A and B are shown apart, each in its own frame.
Chain A
């Protein structure tokens, strides 16, 4: 543990102390949900959950389990605060976020409780930077009430196959239409743009399809602008689970493997667009 032991002295006063040997394990996953400035942090014994929301229609959550951290001490059942995510990421990558193997930034993140700033100790090559980020009153995150018992359709795909589709999507289309069905076309992504429409069909027996559980044909439209940020998570992930519930709400769960091969999750919830007649 390269971090200086001097700062250990006042640890007792903190309600939350979390240390990481490689800050990239945190910064990368936070990048996957950076589409709005404010992020709600909620720490429990299980780990850290970071939530970002947009337009009351989209919510992204990043879960970093306690065992990802080398040290994770929490003195209360639940600790919550809100910080500017852009500022936090700038601090976490203050040493440049080098990807050279063997060179990593260590992090110790401390929080003193309500009204105190979030304190970051960052160390790389013997140089320590201390950052204090003012915390804000935590907002209540939206409850999408997305319950696994209400899930109508679910597929799990290898991310590679979706990455290609998302990189090619016609961005002149305002919406992305997702069709999931127990019969053809099984799983379809559609766009309706200036030059015409496009459909991407994934058969249920494709090698890329790890799980296919569709009970009922569902066609829902989602705002492209809302789903666009999720491509950041997709790019990091190795598998993605796409679920829709009976109301047409969309849940995208990304399984992300970090540099050490540990698994974290990023989750996006999105409200469907208004019902429109099918073309």
Chain B
């Protein structure tokens, strides 16, 4: 791989790295024929981000067709290269990224004013491709707004606020902070704001719904969108299925895929048990015999259509599947539910339900049975 970015695109590249650093610990880098893909996923695999910088983004973009190459790098070390955006803007004229497979180093050379050359040779690890499977086109709801609108809206929530709930009606959107179930109601502060459809560039609501997702990643994307001045498109359907945030122009495409909470889980649970009481409680072994990969991701499990359940009226399939990288990591995922917080948010409502027979089972199993019964 050999590519060169110049001028304002160096800043865009730096901003992309900073955005990705809000997602996960590692940067997955993959030079593809259609551009350089920079990806990251969080430890609980509930958030995924991909920046695809097309060959036109670069002044020069060359990949080795015979030798496909993918790697992951601790994002902190890449961030260090692009540490100060302001000095980058002021002094960097050209950024040259090159793969040195002999030395196992990724070389990032920054050509600065006054002839100063900064060369960073970063060590990396080989990795499998990281890919999320999602279908934003089939989402019922699509909103598109200028970054400013969302930046101003998000500004009202404190930095400590973890999740935000977005509710849509045919003509307006509400943003609300999500108060934890165990929070003291006398101390909790509710913030709610309403945006009219007119404020959006595009506003099409196919299904009135309400979704809750993490703010941190959204903030990460907003930083990028604001600096590039590109509108953000939001695709979503219902609670529990991922929300896709997209920013694109002619030379780059950004997709953030974030898990949403399955708020209405307990209701659908009751419905499901009524409809198919015979099939509800799957044998715990079922989990083991099934496709493991599909259970790894919390967001997906709540989405998988139960094998024995009749097709639902809602046939849209918003699946998000993350290609797993290595055995080692898979096991790690199974061994410990990565983000307790997320688990509890996801399945809190299920656990309350007394109908649940295997309450004492491990979280991961709940994760599985949950998915079987949800729809």
- The residues of A with any CB-CB pair to B shorter than 8 Å are 161, 164-165, 167-168, 170, 194-203, 205-208
Contacts and interface: CB of A to CB of B under 8 A. Distances in A.
B118 interface: yes
A199 B84 CA distance: 17
Contact of A164 (B74, B91, B115, B123): B91
Contacts of B123: 195-196
Interface string B113-143: 0111111111100000000000000000000
Contacts of A197: 120-121
For this complex, into which size category does the number of interface residues on chain B fall?
A: 20 to 34
Interface stretch (B15-23, B75-83, B347-355): B75-83
Given A164-B87, A168-B83, A168-B84, A196 B117 contact: no
A156 to B, nearest CB: 14
A255 B106 CA distance: 38
Contacts of B73: 195
A64 B74 CA distance: 47
Nearest to A203: B115
A158 to B, nearest CB: 9
28 contacts: A164-B91, A165-B116, A168-B84, A195-B74, A195-B77, A195-B80, A195-B123, A196-B77, A196-B106, A196-B121, A196-B122, A197-B121, A198-B119, A198-B121, A199-B117, A199-B118, A199-B119, A199-B121, A200-B116, A200-B117, A200-B118, A200-B119, A201-B116, A201-B117, A203-B117, A206-B115, A207-B114, A208-B114
A166 to B, nearest CB: 12
A203 B115 CA distance: 6
A202 B118 contact: no
B172 interface: no
Nearest to B122: A196
Interface of B: 73-74, 76-77, 80-81, 83-84, 87, 91, 105-106, 114-123
B118 A161 contact: no
Given A168-B118, A200-B117, 9 more contacts: A164-B91, A195-B74, A196-B77, A198-B119, A200-B118, A201-B116, A205-B115, A206-B115, A206-B116
B344 to A, nearest CB: 34
Nearest to B106: A196
A167 B117 CA distance: 15
Contact of B77 (A194, A200, A206, A207): A194
A195 B120 CA distance: 9
Given A168-B80, A168-B83, A170-B80, A196 B115 contact: no
B25 to A, nearest CB: 13
B92 to A, nearest CB: 11
Given A195-B77, A196-B77, A196-B105, A201 B119 contact: yes
B119 A208 contact: no
Nearest to B83: A168
Nearest to A199: B119
B14 to A, nearest CB: 13
Nearest to B119: A199
B119 to A, nearest CB: 4
Contacts of A167: 84
Contacts of B106: 196
Nearest to A187: B116
Given A164-B87, A164-B91, A168-B83, A198 B105 contact: no
Contacts of B118: 165, 168, 198-201
B116 A208 contact: yes
Contacts of A161: 114, 116
Across the A-B interface, the 6 shortest Cβ-Cβ residue pairs: A195-B77, A203-B115, A206-B115, A201-B117, A196-B122, A199-B119
Contacts of B76: 195
A202 B115 CA distance: 7
A200 B91 CA distance: 14
Contacts of A200: 116-119
A206 B117 CA distance: 11
Contacts of B115: 202-203, 205-208
Nearest to A207: B114
A195 B73 CA distance: 9
Nearest to B124: A196
Nearest to B81: A198
Contact of B116 (A170, A195, A202): A202
A266 B118 CA distance: 27
A180 B294 CA distance: 57
Contacts of B74: 195
A199 B116 CA distance: 10
Nearest to A192: B121
A72 to B, nearest CB: 40
Contacts of B84: 167-168
A25 B301 CA distance: 68
Contacts of A205: 115
Interface centre among B83, B105, B115, B123 (most CB of A within 10 A): B115
A198 B84 CA distance: 16
B357 to A, nearest CB: 49
A207 B120 CA distance: 23
Contacts of B81: 198
A202 B117 CA distance: 7
Nearest to B113: A207
